[in-house]
Amino acid sequence: IIEALLEDPKVMNTLQNKWAGTEMTMEAFKQGENVERWWYRYADDDLAALLYPNVCRTLSDSRKAFAYVKDVEHFSAMQKFLVANIGSLAMYFAASKIKSKRNIKDEQKALQTTLDLFENE
């Protein structure tokens, strides 16, 4: 859809008029759009999927992620207990499922590899 819009003569004319007197060109704009889309895809598909298994590597790590629950004043003692324990268990299993789906053996190494890619781009 975006490609079709950028090829529309009216859109091209409007953008070129807007950019008059600047160094922006249609090609530079398209290149920027491609880079931006790549970063969004990278953040959503790669980085986010690796952060979760790192936060919940072990059941103990998952419980630490839910430690904030004890400070929620409007939760009853039972709610705090259930959220902290069932929630952490669910997070741990969800992270395990992500690791399995993405064939991740070492979540820390996988995260470091993708962060290195981010740093080098």
SS3 117: helix
* Tens-place pLDDT, residues 37-69: 777 777 888 888 888 899 999 999 999 999 999
CA–CA dist 31, 35 (Å, integer) = 6
**Residue 88 binned pLDDT confidence (cut-offs 50, 70, 90):** very high
Taking each helix axis from N to C end, the angle separating 77-101 and 48-55, rounded to the nearest 10 degrees, works out to 130
Residues 6+ apart with CB under 8 A from 48: none
pLDDT at 12 > cutoff 90: no
Say which residue, 117 or 71, is predicted with more confidence: 71
**Residue 71 binned pLDDT confidence (cut-offs 50, 70, 90):** very high
Give the pTM.
0.61
* Tens-place pLDDT, residues 94-117: 999 999 999 999 999 998 988 887
Which CATH number do you get for residue 80? 1.20.1050
Residues 6+ apart with CB under 8 A from 62: 55, 56, 88, 89, 91, 92, 95
CA–CA dist 7, 118 (Å, integer) = 31
What is the total count of domains within the chain? 1
Judge residue 57's burial from the number of C-beta atoms within 10 Å of its C-beta, 0-12 exposed, 13-18 middle, 19 or more buried. middle
Say which residue, 39 or 80, is predicted with more confidence: 80
Give residue 82's domain range.
Answer: 2-120
pLDDT at 79 > cutoff 80: yes
| pLDDT for res 65 | 92
